[in-house]
Amino acid sequence: MKKIKRYENTKVLVLGLALSGVNAAKLLHSLGALVTVNDYKSFDENPEAQELLESGIRVVTGGHPVELLDEDFEWIVKNPGIMYNNPIIVRALEKQIPVITEVELAYEVAESMLIGVTGTNGKTTTTTMIAELLNMNRENGHAYVAGNIGTPASLVAQQATVDDETIMELSSFQLMGITEMKPHIAVITNIYSAHLDYHGTREEYVAAKMRITENQTAADYLVVNWDQPELRELAKSSQAQIIPFSRLERVNNGVYLENEVIFYRDEPVMNTASILVPGDHNVENAMAAIAVAKLLNQENGAIRECLQQFSGVKHRTQFVREYQQRRFYNDSKATNNLATKNALKGFDVPVILLAGGLDRGNDFDELIPELKRVKALVLFGETAAKLAETGKKAGVQQIEFVQNVEAAVPVAFEISEPGEVILLSPACASWDQYRSFEVRGDAFIQSISQLIAKEEEEE
């Protein structure tokens, strides 16, 4: 870790805790900053604030009082989830106090090479793929994952050395709070509309995503999805060397698909049939990851070996296991129509789809083209009736209603046949029944284990 002097004896306000805030506060404290932590949650219900106080860091809890800014802070490190229309942020910007996010702080102290990954979909899978590709058959150093993927960037930055790489998943929220951060390799998986409640307009959302490349120079690389005309145009604003990837056409100086073979700069790397995780979207994720791996001189044999074994990120079209010739996939992270459509596109065999969850008022008719490949629906949650209506429109012959995911697994197995897929891809948030999509996915995995144990006991 670089021992920077920028924050020594300077007053810094860390706004909002969670993992990123806690680790940012600890890092700043170690750098000699005069840290104040401010979190909305009350002190009695705030173990993170209690821990920091015991470490000698000042904490202010129970709200975000604008009056704090009377204390002449020189920096604010903001939790990405706190919106810019929050009164304390509005006032800070009026006072021209720099407001950064924790990933910027991590960049300032990091010794390792930074690879940044952003996009609307596929960030976590691509980030994880890159790390596994770079760690394959490796003798020196390590590729770490960090950022929006769940591991605080400021924690990894203190561990990684010059022999390592940090592959950082970067959300639009995080990217809005950077000033100098510059990935040596930046990846943009795709761009769609998202988080408009936070950004206000699609233009602002896209602008936030493009900040990943704003500090790059001609010595850096931007790996970008060439199948999106919008991204082709946006890439023109980058000073980095453009490395395109495309499923749809041959591209120069990049990664492309031809006759189901992935090429890098006209060199065959691997067949798409060897990629374990299903779907065109995962082919795109793999192509982006391959671009990074080849830029860093990974061998084709290691790339093939890695992607033949890569079973997916947990809860994201994750291959769970095969039992009695049925393959189970956990895609609990699919909380919207687009994610479920992408999951269904990945299978060319009959699918038993487990779906349902929180009713946000939307309909599911855009699923109809993909539901035509679905043999049966097993539905639960607030949206079960809506999804059933959509299933009928699509011509799904068998529709079952169950109480929850745990009840859905044995029903799905009962109506399935050898060679078919049982897929949890809910198209809805989990909050009507489960605390998070992770809890919902774990319930699915556990139910599969219980089903198999029961089946084998009865044999």
- Which of these CATH numbers, 3.40.50.720, 3.40.1190.10, 3.30.930.10, 2.60.40.350, describes 103-309? 3.40.1190.10
Q: What is the pLDDT of residue 279?
A: 87
The CATH class of the 11-100 domain is alpha beta
Q: What are phi and psi of 383, to 5 degrees?
A: -95, 10
Residue 195 pLDDT > 80, yes or no?
Answer: no
Higher pLDDT, 84 or 193: 84
Task: Dump strand ranges (E) for 194-317.
Answer: 221-225, 241-246, 255-258, 261-264, 267-271
Average pLDDT over residues 320-331: 96
Residues 141-164 pLDDT 10s: 999 999 998 899 999 999 999 999
Q: How confident is the model at residue 299 (pLDDT cuts 50, 70, 90)?
A: very high
Q: What is the pLDDT of residue 150?
A: 83
Helices vs. strands in the chain: H and E counts, helices first: 17, 20
What gap in Å lies between CA 264 and CA 279, rounded to an integer?
Answer: 20
Q: With contact defined as beta carbons under 8 Å apart, do 346 and 318 qualify?
A: no
Domain range annotation of the chain: 11-100, 103-309, 318-458
Q: What is the pLDDT of residue 388?
A: 98
Tokens of 117: 């990954």
Residues 370-398 pLDDT 10s: 998 899 999 999 999 999 999 999 999 99
Q: How many CB atoms lie within 10 A of CB 454?
A: 10
Average pLDDT value for the chain: 95
Residues 231-283 pLDDT 10s: 999 999 999 999 999 999 999 999 999 999 999 999 999 999 999 998 898 99
Q: What is the pLDDT of residue 225?
A: 98
Angle (CA) 443-446-447 rounded to 5° is 85
- CATH for 318-458 is 3.90.190.20
